Amino acid sequence: MLKKKGLLLVVSGPSGAGKGTICKELLNKNHDIKLSVSATTRKPRNGEVDGVNYFFLEKEKFQTMINNGEFLEYAQIYDNFYGTPKAAIIESLENGQDVILEIEMQGAKQIKDVYPEGVFIFVLPPSLEELKNRIVGRGTETEEEIHKRFSCAFEEINKISDYDYFVVNKDVNTSVKELESIILAEKNKVNRYKNNIIAKFKEEL
Amino acid sequence: MLKKKGLLLVVSGPSGAGKGTICKELLNKNHDIKLSVSATTRKPRNGEVDGVNYFFLEKEKFQTMINNGEFLEYAQIYDNFYGTPKAAIIESLENGQDVILEIEMQGAKQIKDVYPEGVFIFVLPPSLEELKNRIVGRGTETEEEIHKRFSCAFEEINKISDYDYFVVNKDVNTSVKELESIILAEKNKVNRYKNNIIAKFKEEL
């Protein structure tokens, strides 16, 4: 059989597009995909659990990890830091396990610079109107934060060119099906595995 | 909604890898995909129907169509001609319909030159041994033809770099699922549709 390295799936897009929801449902249905848990200095929202949704860190601790080069990426968004611990991800990929990351756009860009073979997926809202409704409906942000996020949304959508795939998140099941197809298609990409394929058949000659 | 042009799916690979079987099953399950029927000067095999499996043409008629530029590609393989009539395919793609082509490797290469935005899929046998068994088992070729085909197979597999995707055809259902995923993933590719996406959101501003 072909030995295949795992895929690093980087899911990003404007806040409120629903990337969290579709990642969660994808993971519910596919237990072989591993979720990378990010670290952040922002405060937990209602129901969020440390080590599950995020590692919630104090700013000092976060800064130490930056200094030690322990992040695959990190970014400051508004007043908080977000970062992706490196070691566990690299190990999983080498072992053939797929890893998924749900991440803000600044972070996605940094990851693309250092790991371009990742699969970069942009989650879009069905419309800007719908995006606004979702952010307001979440009820976790102040009015000022909502305004800030929404005014960034179109500018963010313009950055879609940095991504490999888009998913228009109209309903969760369709979006998850699209993610699953993207993953399976990437596992059938010639560019990723052609050396393994040619080597396998050469052995038989 | 996003208006999307249809995909031209070009399925190729060594003779005996099973590309015909998996295309047939894909079409059985997906009535919205249109099969492009090729023209050929070779004789029908048992059970093959003119206009369904191929348009079976005399050499003179085929030559006239070449001269009139009516083929997307054509090729001579062993002693026979194979070609893909152009007009119907282009019309379907413009109307948003996906078209699938099962084709020899020479033909696939010509199509890539004139229509690089096609999706090029290489069907591999699980092993060279299995490939040989399948060609022999088909019982439609002379011993000389079998030898010719098999000795080309490894050389053909080396040409996999010209393709976007591969499918290792171990069992039909798995292969069809992989094809379906490739199709859906390609419909979510940023490069294909980013202008449509940005235009759609711009309208809302």
Give mean pLDDT, residues B68-73: 92
User: A130 CA to chain B: closest CA distance, Å?
Assistant: 11
Where does chain B have alpha helices with state H? 19-29, 59-67, 87-94, 105-114, 128-138, 143-157, 172-186, 190-204
Q: What is the pLDDT of residues B107-150, one digit of tens each?
A: 899 999 989 999 999 999 988 888 888 778 877 778 887 777 77
Instruction: Point out the residue among A160, A184, A186 whose CB comes nearest to the CB of B197.
Output: A160
Q: What is the pLDDT of residues B73-119, one digit of tens each?
A: 998 888 899 899 998 899 999 999 999 999 888 889 999 998 999 99
- Residue A81 has phi, psi (to 5 degrees) of -100, 145
Residues 80-109 of A with CB under 8 A from B: none
Show the tokens assigned to A79.
């007043």
Residue-level pLDDT at A1: 66
User: How is chain A split into domains, by residue range?
Assistant: 8-36+97-204
Give mean pLDDT, residues B10-30: 93
Residue B1 has pLDDT above 70, yes or no: no
> What ipTM was estimated for this complex?
0.85
Distance CA A92, CA A115 (A): 14
Identify the burial level of B190 via C-beta atoms within 10 angstroms of its C-beta, where 0-12 means exposed, 13-18 middle and 19 or more buried.
middle
* Helix A143-157 with B190-204: angle, nearest 10 deg: 130
Contact check, Cβ <8 Å, A190/B164: yes
Question: Does the CB of A151 have a partner CB in chain B at under 8 Å?
Answer: no
Is A17 annotated in some ligand binding site?
yes
Distance CA A90, CA A74 (A): 16
Question: Does the CB of A130 have a partner CB in chain B at under 8 Å?
Answer: no
Instruction: For residue A38, give every residue at least 6 positions away whose Cβ sits within 8 Å of its Cβ, in sequence order, or none.
Output: A54, A55, A82, A83, A84, A85, A101, A102, A103
Give mean pLDDT, residues A154-160: 87
Strand order in A33-35's β-sheet?
Answer: A33-35, A98-102, A8-12, A119-124, A165-168
Contact check, Cβ <8 Å, B127/A204: yes
User: B113 CA to chain A: closest CA distance, Å?
Assistant: 18
Pairing state of beta strands A33-35 and A98-102?
Answer: parallel
Residue B52 has pLDDT above 70, yes or no: yes
Angle at alpha carbon of residue A24, lines to A19 and A26, rounded to 5° = 95
Residues of B in contact with A124 (CB under 8 A): 197
Residue with tokens 């229509």: B115
Is A19 annotated in some ligand binding site?
yes
Question: Does the CB of B127 have a partner CB in chain A at under 8 Å?
Answer: yes
Residue A19 has pLDDT above 90, yes or no: yes
Distance CA B136, CA B16 (A): 9
User: B3 CA to chain A: closest CA distance, Å?
Assistant: 13
**Taking Cα atoms as reference points, which of A117, A121, A122 lies closest to residue A191?**
A117
Q: What does the radius of gyration of chain B's CA atoms come to, in whole angstroms?
A: 18
CATH class of B8-36+98-204: alpha beta
Show the tokens assigned to B159.
């040409």
Mutate to test the interface with B, among A10, A165, A192 (most CBs of B within 10 A): A165
Contact check, Cβ <8 Å, A188/B205: no
Instruction: For residue A97, give every residue at least 6 positions away whose Cβ sits within 8 Å of its Cβ, in sequence order, or none.
Output: A6, A32, A33, A34
Measured CA distances, A121 to A196, B70, B140, B149, B193 (Å): 26, 40, 47, 41, 14
Mutate to test the interface with A, among B119, B165, B175 (most CBs of A within 10 A): B165
Question: Does the CB of B190 have a partner CB in chain A at under 8 Å?
Answer: yes
Residue-level pLDDT at A199: 87
**Cβ–Cβ < 8 Å for B96, B196:** no
Percentage of chain B with pLDDT > 70?
Answer: 99
Contact check, Cβ <8 Å, B158/A204: no
Which residue would you say has higher pLDDT here, A58 or A200?
A: A58
- Tell me A78's DSSP state: T
Instruction: Point out the residue among B160, B178, B194 whose CB comes nearest to the CB of A190.
Output: B160
The CATH architecture to which A8-36+97-204 belongs is: 3-Layer(aba) Sandwich (3.40)
Distance CA B190, CA A167 (A): 9
Distance CA B34, CA B17 (A): 22
Q: What is the pLDDT of residues A64-97, one digit of tens each?
A: 999 999 999 998 888 899 899 998 899 999 999 9
